[in-house]
Amino acid sequence: MTRLPPPRAQGGPTILAALRESIISGALAPGVLLRQTELAEEFGTSRIPVREALNSLQAEGLVQIEPNRGAYVTTLTSDELREIFDLRVLLETDALRRAVPLHSERTLRRVEAIQHELDAETVPAEWVRLDRAFHDALYEPSGRPRTLQMIAALRDSVQRFYLARLGPDARRPGWNDEHNGLIAQVRAGDVDAACATLAEHLRHTEEISLKEL
């Protein structure tokens, strides 16, 4: 199992956050066995908070716990990944459709500021963090917190499959152009065009993710 570098003697929420980040970033690869005893030793704690963290990660779809076998980082089939992206398209276009009429000059400037950082970013992990912030800011005016929570969980479940392919050469010709197109369409109040661009944007990400399975 990939060794983790957590601080010593950490509690349940910190363990959960550290394991989640390691899975989402790809540091813990799909199919890796997560041994409670080893994790407890690395985090400097008992097995109880580790077990609780693994149960939470199973509820999020990031870990699969099998009786008498242990906990594994969840793997996805191509059909499962396609289903997740189908759900992302449905939920994210709905959130965007509701958000567009509610965007203000202030909220749009925030989206544009994030995109300005994205245009210059070359580190894949940092680019993915900013990409998440861009989409969060784009959907935030929708006023649909449960929908946004589901979107975040769905993104977490697939991000590891495209993170490695988002170097500057792979993403600059497409992702940033699509983001800037989205900003222009939201500014113009063109809901249908913005949703169509977003759907295409997500489908491009799906294509990249499928290549990593």
**pLDDT for 47-97, tens place per residue?**
999 999 999 999 988 999 998 889 999 899 999 999 999 999 999 999 999
**103 and 48 fall within a common domain:** no
In a domain, 44, yes or no: yes
pLDDT at 212: 79
Q: What is the 3-state secondary structure (H, E, C) of 80-98?
A: HHHHHHHHHHHHHHHHHHH
**103 and 29 fall within a common domain:** no
**pLDDT for 189-210, tens place per residue?**
999 999 999 999 999 889 988 9
**pLDDT for 139-190, tens place per residue?**
999 999 999 999 999 998 998 887 766 655 565 567 888 999 999 999 999 9
What average pLDDT does this structure show over 124-128?
Answer: 80
Q: What percent of the chain has pLDDT over 90?
A: 66
In a domain, 119, yes or no: yes
Supply the CATH number for residue 124's domain. Answer: 1.20.120.530
In a domain, 6, yes or no: no
Our measurement of the distance from residue 87's CA atom to the centroid of its chain's CA atoms, rounded to an integer in Å, reads 14
**58 and 83 fall within a common domain:** no
**146 and 100 fall within a common domain:** yes
Q: Does pTM top 0.75 for this prediction?
A: yes
157 within 8 A of 63, measured Cβ to Cβ = no
**pLDDT for 6-25, tens place per residue?**
444 456 789 999 999 899 88
**Residue count of the chain:** 213
State the residue range of the domain holding 158. 78-211
**Counted domains in the chain:** 2
Which residues are CB-neighbours of 137 under 8 A, at least 6 positions away? 107, 110, 111, 114
In a domain, 157, yes or no: yes
Q: Does the structure show a pLDDT above 70 at 108?
A: yes
In a domain, 139, yes or no: yes
**65 and 87 fall within a common domain:** no
**56 and 108 fall within a common domain:** no
**40 and 84 fall within a common domain:** no
Backbone angles phi, psi at 63, to 5 degrees: -130, 145
- Residue 28: DSSP 8-state: S
In order, the DSSP letters of 174-206 are IIIHHHHHHHHHHHTT-HHHHHHHHHHHHHHHH
In a domain, 46, yes or no: yes
pLDDT at 7: 44
